[in-house]
């Protein structure tokens, strides 16, 4: 599938990606810069980073496998992010930024107190690492099968690339990388989409709709209606909670320049989550009837359908650009992985090291420790991803749903409702997490434990089959897809219901709370409703620098990509490198033009004595 020119493209991409950290290194001058971009990010950087984090190799592999079977169901699943980001736009995005904190744990401390802050750090870090390891494992499994290198070596190389991005300038280099990665993903995906629809055996958009299998629009042919409808409803709930969770998607709004910039970023994310699923998933649907023999193309993949996107991309793209698609797969995962590394390092440096080890540490020391902890966590991440990859015995889609249903809901509830509803005691945060984990554990492992210790005829598989039969009405046994979705819905519903019920139950004890806790909560909510005054709060104007930094990186990558015209292909195929590289170059030139405009405006303000400090 790959030729030597594709490997050249992949090597260049990895070197270029790893260099981003070094290019951005001088931008991070203190721990605030390293862990939240100094709270100076413009809306287009935050927004593109948010779109990038919503994508991953999971989108092009695990999700693609479900698209290959059920078509537009996965498009709808991604569109469920839209109402969640609308809530952010109208209510939460600006309030998150106006907390004026550096890490999520800082906000948790202001809302729930120091005990919950430390509990949060020591629980959140393993959860973040598990999810990041899952992303690294997912992209490595696929690239290993596509490129033909050992899986463990693939995890090591890709993990090292992510580490280089994160360790350079922290959030600055992470978000700079996110912008470049999403630009590459969109350029490649649009190219694959157009060329897929233009295949003679497809016949354009009208031919596409004539040829797609019936289950792609009639989901009940592949899965019982009660199952897929409930799956979408529960996914909608989880999307809403994930997007409004400060410790997940909400975290990136801490990096925004102010509340207005945060709101604009959320609007950009809405546009992204409407358009990107169609761009990414239509080629997979084309693959379902153009390349029905994926098992022959990807014999090393446990589920050949996970290679559907790569299969159709290799079918329609010339030599060299297939390698770029492999890079896009990796690019789609970088945001989730490097963000987890940076966020966890921030917890250890700001909320453990600074508080308990070196309370008087200066900013240079904190910046150094940020890089040290990033390196340590990267080693742990690579080790964990290797372990997961070699122990996995289910499909990537089912595995990721299982991880999210067990890990995410217990942490989400207090981080969502705690910043909307204020009248709960300080212990409501950590106790809600424990109740949620307990509910998730008992739902997943309880029946098997009962069978093991009490010799009762019970098992988790039997429990899920019973739920499928008696709750969802699936007679005659469930297929693998139904079983995976019922497991996700059952665990998530029980965990979320338990966690939410407990959180609001604790409000009965609010009146007994320490007055200091009440004052801290009131101060937090007051800040959340107070717009940021850049002059009064002495925030540095770094707008021009962002345009120059991202514009230069984008222009360099686009220019090198255009050199792909020299790769021996047919003439019309060589033109693809001109189109793609030229498109990326256009973005870079626009950003550099805006840099010159912003720089001139800043110099004019300085000359007039109105420089924002």
Select from 265, 311, 269 the least CA-distant residue to 145: 311
189 near 328, Cβ under 8 Å?
A: yes
- Calculate mean pLDDT across residues 551-580: 91
Q: At what angle do helices 396-417 and 104-112 cross, to 10 degrees?
A: 40
Residue 458 in this model has a pLDDT that exceeds 70:
no
Percent of the chain clearing pLDDT 90 (strictly above): 38
User: What's the pLDDT at 388?
Assistant: 79
Domains of the chain and CATH, by start: 4-21+39-532 (1.20.1730.10)
Enumerate residues 6+ apart whose C-beta is below 8 A from 352.
118, 121
> Could you report the per-residue pLDDT of 434-446, keeping only the tens digit for each?
998 888 888 877 7
Residue 612 in this model has a pLDDT that exceeds 50:
no
Q: How far apart are CA 341 and CA 296, in angstroms?
A: 37
> Residue 474 corresponds to which tokens in the numbers above?
């699936």
> Could you report the per-residue pLDDT of 381-396, keeping only the tens digit for each?
999 889 877 766 555 5
3-class state of residue 540 by DSSP: coil
- Calculate mean pLDDT across residues 216-239: 88
Q: How far apart are CA 413 and CA 93, in angstroms?
A: 17
Residue 408 in this model has a pLDDT that exceeds 90:
no
413 near 500, Cβ under 8 Å?
A: yes
Q: What is the mean pLDDT of the chain?
A: 86
Among 137-146, 259-268, 455-464, 568-577, the range scoring the smallest mean pLDDT is: 455-464
- Calculate mean pLDDT across residues 492-498: 89
Residue 242 in this model has a pLDDT that exceeds 90:
no
> Could you report the per-residue pLDDT of 76-94, keeping only the tens digit for each?
988 988 998 998 999 899 9
Q: How confident is the model at residue 613 (pLDDT cuts 50, 70, 90)?
A: very low
> Residue 548 corresponds to which tokens in the numbers above?
């120059």
171 near 253, Cβ under 8 Å?
A: no
User: What's the pLDDT at 547?
Assistant: 93
Q: How far apart are CA 567 and CA 463, in angstroms?
A: 57
Among 33-42, 253-262, 437-446, 598-607, the range scoring the smallest mean pLDDT is: 598-607
Q: How confident is the model at residue 506 (pLDDT cuts 50, 70, 90)?
A: very high
> Residue 124 corresponds to which tokens in the numbers above?
């959140």
Q: How confident is the model at residue 610 (pLDDT cuts 50, 70, 90)?
A: very low
CB atoms within 10 A of CB 604: 11
Select from 67, 398, 70, 77 the least CA-distant residue to 219: 70
Output the furthest CA–CA distance in the chain (Å, rounded).
Answer: 82
Residue 466 in this model has a pLDDT that exceeds 90:
no
Q: At what angle do helices 151-169 and 321-348 cross, to 10 degrees?
A: 60
Most confidently modeled of 301-310, 478-487, 495-504?
495-504
Select from 345, 279, 369 the least CA-distant residue to 132: 345
Q: How far apart are CA 387 and CA 330, in angstroms?
A: 19
User: What's the pLDDT at 591?
Assistant: 94
């Amino acid at each position: 599938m790959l030729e030597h020119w594709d490997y050249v493209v992949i090597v260049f991409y990895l070197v270029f990606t790893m260099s981003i950290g070094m290019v951005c290194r001088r931008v991070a001058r203190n721990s605030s810069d390293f862990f939240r971009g100094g709270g100076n990010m413009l809306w287009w950087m935050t927004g593109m980073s948010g779109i990038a984090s919503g994508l991953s190799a999971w989108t092009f592999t695990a999700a693609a496998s479900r698209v290959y079977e059920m078509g537009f169901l996965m498009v709808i699943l991604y569109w469920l992010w839209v109402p969640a980001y609308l809530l952010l736009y109208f209510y939460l995005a600006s309030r998150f930024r106006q907390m004026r904190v550096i890490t999520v744990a800082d906000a948790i401390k202001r809302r729930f107190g120091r005990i919950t802050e430390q509990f949060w750090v020591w629980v959140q870090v393993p959860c973040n690492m598990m999810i990041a390891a899952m992303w690294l494992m997912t992209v490595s499994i696929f690239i290993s099968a596509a490129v033909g290198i050992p899986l463990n070596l693939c995890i090591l190389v890709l993990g090292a690339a992510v580490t280089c991005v994160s360790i350079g300038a922290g959030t600055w280099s992470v978000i700079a990388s996110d912008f470049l990665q999403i630009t590459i993903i969109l350029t490649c995906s649009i190219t694959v989409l157009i060329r897929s629809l233009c295949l003679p055996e497809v016949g354009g958009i009208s031919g596409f709709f004539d040829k797609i299998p019936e289950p792609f629009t009639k989901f009940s042919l592949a899965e019982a209606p009660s199952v897929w409808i409930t799956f979408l409803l529960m996914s909608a709930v989880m999307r809403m909670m994930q997007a409004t969770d400060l410790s997940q998607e909400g975290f990136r709004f801490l990096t925004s320049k102010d509340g207005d910039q945060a709101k604009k970023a959320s609007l950009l994310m809405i546009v992204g989550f409407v358009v990107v699923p169609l761009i990414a998933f239509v080629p997979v649907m084309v693959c379902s009837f153009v390349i029905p023999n994926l098992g022959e193309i990807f014999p090393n993949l446990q589920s050949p359908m996970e290679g559907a996107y790569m299969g159709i991309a290799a079918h329609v793209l010339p030599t060299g650009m297939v390698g770029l698609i492999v890079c896009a797969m990796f690019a789609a995962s970088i945001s989730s992985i490097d963000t987890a590394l940076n966020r966890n390092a921030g917890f250890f440096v700001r909320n453990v090291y600074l508080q308990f080890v070196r309370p008087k540490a200066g900013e240079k020391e904190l910046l150094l420790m940020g890089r040290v902890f990033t390196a340590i966590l990267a080693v742990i991440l690579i080790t964990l991803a290797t372990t997961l990859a070699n122990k996995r015995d289910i499909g990537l889609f089912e595995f990721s749903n299982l991880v999210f249903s067990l890990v995410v809901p217990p942490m989400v509830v207090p981080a969502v409702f705690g910043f909307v509803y204020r009248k709960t005691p300080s212990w409501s945060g950590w106790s809600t997490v424990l109740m949620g984990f307990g509910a998730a554990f008992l739902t997943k492992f309880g029946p098997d434990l009962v069978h093991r210790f009490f010799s009762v005829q019970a098992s988790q598989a039997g429990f899920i089959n019973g739920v499928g039969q008696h709750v969802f009405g699936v007679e005659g046994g469930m297929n693998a897809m139904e079983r995976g979705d019922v497991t996700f819905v059952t665990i998530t519903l029980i965990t979320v219901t338990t966690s939410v019920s407990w959180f609001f139950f604790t409000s009965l004890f609010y009146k007994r709370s320490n007055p200091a806790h009440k004052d801290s909560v009131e101060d937090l909510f007051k800040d959340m409703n107070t717009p940021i005054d850049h002059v009064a709060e002495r925030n540095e104007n770094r707008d021009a620098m962002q345009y120059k930094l991202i514009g230069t990186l984008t222009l360099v990558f686009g220019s090198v990509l255009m050199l792909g015209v020299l790769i021996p292909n047919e003439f019309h195929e060589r033109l693809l490198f001109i189109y793609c590289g030229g498109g990326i170059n256009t973005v870079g030139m626009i950003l550099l033009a805006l840099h010159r405009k912003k720089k001139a405006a800043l110099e004019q303000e300085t000359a007039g004595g109105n420089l924002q400090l």
